[in-house]
């Protein structure tokens, strides 16, 4: 079955709304999509040099993921014992074998169906990877990290402890969060609302990026912001740290308030590489 024909079947069943529930052909189409997502052959967003951000959103794939939620009946997924788990039958947790080449260290982590984990990915417990997410080779997902639905994580990325990568399913044309190759996302960072972090960038511990976060670039003198058409984009190799800016409007000045801001203090240099050297032997 070609991708084009899978796309048209998914679109048809998505448009059918409630009529797709209980339709064996809809389930079949969804399962084909889910298998392709897990194999990494289909993605909710992919690199595209013609796109303004360098990434193209495959809205039909996201519609297919939503179709899976619509047609999946709630089912018990407990392994027995005192703990009980309930979720859509279409989205059970994934299971892996040593042949998959990933490491999921025991202790409460879960990878949901429809997520792709490339070889060499290491997941420290507890961590969660949601449906439609794509995690590329050699990436480390540390304890308490979240990779939200449809988020795209590149090669050799380090998602440090407590890093939260937001997910986005709707609206279907909304770009997911994208973390490109060789990025270090420090501890307790939060990257949300379609933000793109370009190759090699470093987010210092505690940096939060959303569509509303201004990023002050001390090197270029610009202030980076999301626009109506484009998400917030952190430039390649930028070193971003959490900062604050004075409030100059209304009572803010009188009250001496500051608001959160992110600051690009420099671009990655030898010192940064030393500060972010990872324990290769542990991998
Ligand atoms: C960003 C980071 C890698 C430091 O990079 P670096 O290249 O060594 O940075 P430098 O020390 O040269 O600092 C450059 C400037 O940024 C400031 N800065 C650096 N890290 C900062 C931080 N976390 N918050 C605020 N300012 C910071 C420095 O004070 C310096 O400014 P100054 O010249 O005005 O003093 C480091 O701070 C960091 O956050 N590492 C990630 C830690 C982590 O989360 N580990 C997780 C393990 S699970």
The pLDDT, as a whole number, for residue 275 is 87
Pocket (CB within 6 angstroms of ligand 1):
142, 160-161, 186-187, 202, 204-205, 239, 241-242, 265-266, 271-272, 275-276
Indicate if the pLDDT at residue 281 is higher than 60: no
- Hey, which of 155-164, 170-179, 267-276 has the most confident mean pLDDT? 155-164
Indicate if the pLDDT at residue 248 is higher than 70: yes
CA of 30 to the centre of ligand 1 (A): 45
277 confidence band (pLDDT: 50, 70, 90): confident
| Reported pTM | 0.95
- Output the residue whose Cα is nearest ligand 1's atom 39: 204
197 confidence band (pLDDT: 50, 70, 90): very high
The pLDDT, as a whole number, for residue 144 is 98
Who wins on pLDDT, 168 or 269?
269
- Count of positions (residues) in the chain: 283
- Output the residue whose Cα is nearest ligand 1's atom 26: 241
- Output the residue whose Cα is nearest ligand 1's atom 35: 265
- Percent of the residues in the chain that have a pLDDT greater than 90, as a whole number: 89
Atom of ligand 1 nearest to the CA of 272: 7
95 confidence band (pLDDT: 50, 70, 90): very high
Question: Six-digit token pair at 80?
Answer: 């027995």
CA of 147 to the centre of ligand 1 (A): 24
CA distances to 42, 223, 259 from 243, in Å: 38, 13, 9
The pLDDT, as a whole number, for residue 79 is 74
Indicate if the pLDDT at residue 87 is higher than 60: yes
Indicate if the pLDDT at residue 90 is higher than 90: yes
- Output the residue whose Cα is nearest ligand 1's atom 23: 204
Indicate if the pLDDT at residue 182 is higher than 60: yes
The pLDDT, as a whole number, for residue 278 is 67
The pLDDT, as a whole number, for residue 245 is 96
* Per-residue pLDDT reduced to its tens digit, 53-82: 999 999 999 999 999 999 999 999 987 778
Atom of ligand 1 nearest to the CA of 269: 7
Instruction: Say if CB 215 and CB 194 are below 8 A apart.
Output: no
Question: Six-digit token pair at 167?
Answer: 């997910």
CA distances to 177, 223, 258 from 226, in Å: 13, 10, 21
Instruction: Say if CB 265 and CB 241 are below 8 A apart.
Output: yes
CA of 80 to the centre of ligand 1 (A): 46
The pLDDT, as a whole number, for residue 93 is 95
The whole-number average pLDDT for the span 146-166 is: 98
Ligand 1: residue of 164, 201, 205, 215 to mutate (most ligand atoms within 8 A of CB) is 205
For the chain, the first-to-last Cα distance in angstroms comes to 38
* Per-residue pLDDT reduced to its tens digit, 10-58: 999 999 999 999 999 999 999 999 999 999 999 999 999 999 999 999 9
């Amino acid at each position: 079955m070609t991708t084009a024909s899978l796309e048209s079947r998914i679109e048809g069943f998505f448009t059918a709304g409630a009529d797709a529930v209980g339709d064996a052909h809809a389930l079949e189409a969804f399962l084909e999509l889910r298998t392709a997502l897990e194999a990494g052959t289909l993605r909710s967003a992919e690199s595209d040099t013609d796109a303004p951000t360098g990434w193209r959103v495959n809205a039909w794939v996201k519609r297919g993921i939503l179709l899976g939620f619509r047609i999946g009946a709630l089912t018990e997924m407990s392994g027995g014992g005192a703990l009980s788990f309930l979720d859509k039958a279409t989205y059970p947790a994934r299971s892996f074998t040593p042949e998959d080449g990933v490491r999921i260290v025991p202790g409460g982590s879960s990878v949901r169906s429809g997520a792709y984990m490339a070889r060499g990915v290491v997941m420290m417990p507890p961590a969660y990877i949601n449906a439609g997410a794509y995690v590329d080779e050699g990436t480390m997902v540390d304890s308490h990290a979240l990779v939200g639905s449809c988020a795209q994580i590149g090669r050799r990325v380090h998602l440090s402890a407590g890093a939260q990568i937001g997910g986005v399913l709707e609206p279907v044309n909304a770009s997911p969060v994208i973390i490109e190759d060789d990025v270090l996302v420090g501890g307790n960072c939060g990257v949300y609302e379609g933000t793109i972090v370009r190759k090699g960038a470093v987010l210092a511990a505690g940096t939060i990026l959303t569509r509303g976060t201004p990023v002050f670039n001390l090197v270029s003198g610009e202030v980076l912001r999301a626009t109506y058409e484009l998400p917030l984009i952190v430039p390649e190799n930028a070193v971003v740290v959490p900062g604050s800016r004075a409030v100059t409007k209304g009572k803010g000045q009188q009250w001496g308030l500051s608001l959160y801001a992110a600051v690009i203090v420099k671009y990655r240099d030898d010192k940064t590489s030393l500060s972010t050297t990872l324990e290769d032997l542990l991998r």
